[in-house]
Amino acid sequence: MVFDIADFQRRYNIPYFIDPHVHMRDEEWSNKAEMIDVYTKGAEVGIGLFFDMPNLFNPVITRERVKDRIRRADEQNIAEFYKLYVGLTADVDQIRKAVALTNDDEFGHHVIGLKLFAGESTGDLAVIDEDEQLKIYQMLAAEDYRGVVAVHCEKQEFIDGYKFNFDNPWTSWADARPGKAEYESVKDQIRFAKESEFKGTLHILHVSYADTIGLIREELKDEKLNITFELTPHHLLYSTENMRENLSWEGAMSLKCNPSIKDEENRKDLWDFLMNLPNDDLYKRVCIGTDYAPHGSDKLKPPYPSGVADYSMYGTLIDNAIADGLDESVFADLMYHNIVDIYGLNS
């Protein structure tokens, strides 16, 4: 970073940055990373609170698994910096128990929200069937869940992994996972949530396709649903074109992620949205999350797993945006205040 992180956080009266989207791995995937590894990397760029995702080899979908993750965080001396999501499945009883975990007397303060994979990604938590997706929102409404359900949105029928060519990581992954997959899935989730009269917050993770923002803007007009969303540094900074121009095979493969990095026109549209955000009605609905997803040495080996793990982009994003004229105070909101508000951390 060009500016001093500690000075920035002091001037804007924030104790740290919050990363609301990390994959801390550990356990069977400790070869990819351990919790303390992710914490250490994040702390170097001023992150002091991490929200951990549930899509592990042994997914976090039960009370026992939540308890185990918190115990591991405590053993690595990071429990005070650690919160986690509980994954959702199509099982009615599991959904009911997941909601209960958000208010658990023993460790509910560590559970930040619920996570739905409305499309395949790392792990086996995807709920592909649309009837089952609708059932999840109906159950959340029936249980009067008022918290955050964070959703990975990519509609399976528009994903074609066979289009990925490992000789061409610069553009072929974008062909395999196009923007339409995200857009149509977001449309589905909003429709299901509204039909179910879901009273919580629908939080769309890692928006990678600029048209998705227009869809969210339009769907907010009827005021029937609280929708928020997340932008990531890698989707704001990279495109298929600038990867082709500037990155080696290894560099491009390190940016293979779900959802994919898309073309330069799309990246510019996302960037323009960020630059104009202070004057946008969506301002308080947006946050920055890294989707930090380490794979260690597995990243550059078949089957070339998806996930970006580079906290240096955090500083690059801030530096580039300030250089383009964005007031630095915006990042105090996108990386702290808005996250506090979206997740109800003040309550």
- Residue 24: what pLDDT? 96
203: CATH: 3.20.20.140
Is residue 2's pLDDT more than 80?
A: no
Q: Convert the pLDDT of each residue in 309-326 to its tens digit.
A: 999 999 999 999 999 999
**Domain membership flag for residue 3:** no
Give the residue from 89, 8, 103 showing the smallest Cα distance to 47: 8
The predicted model gives 249-273 an average pLDDT of: 97
Structural domains of the chain, count: 1
**Domain membership flag for residue 25:** yes
- Residue 44: what pLDDT? 95
**Domain membership flag for residue 64:** no
**Domain membership flag for residue 172:** yes
- Residue 27: what pLDDT? 81
Which residue did the predictor score with more confidence, 4 or 178? 178
**Domain membership flag for residue 73:** no
**Domain membership flag for residue 201:** yes
**Domain membership flag for residue 101:** no
Domain region containing 245: 20-50+112-342
Q: Convert the pLDDT of each residue in 121-179 to its tens digit.
A: 776 889 999 999 999 999 999 999 999 999 999 999 999 887 889 899 999 999 999 99
- Residue 3: what pLDDT? 58
pTM of the model: 0.97
Confidence category of residue 72, pLDDT binned at 50, 70, 90: very high
**Domain membership flag for residue 326:** yes
What is the side-by-side strand order in the sheet with 82-87?
A: 17-22, 47-52, 82-87, 111-118, 148-153, 201-204, 226-231, 286-288
Q: Convert the pLDDT of each residue in 270-290 to its tens digit.
A: 999 999 999 999 999 999 999
Q: How many angstroms separate the Cα of 18 from the Cα of each of 58, 103, 233?
A: 25, 22, 14
Q: Convert the pLDDT of each residue in 194-206 to its tens digit.
A: 999 999 999 999 9
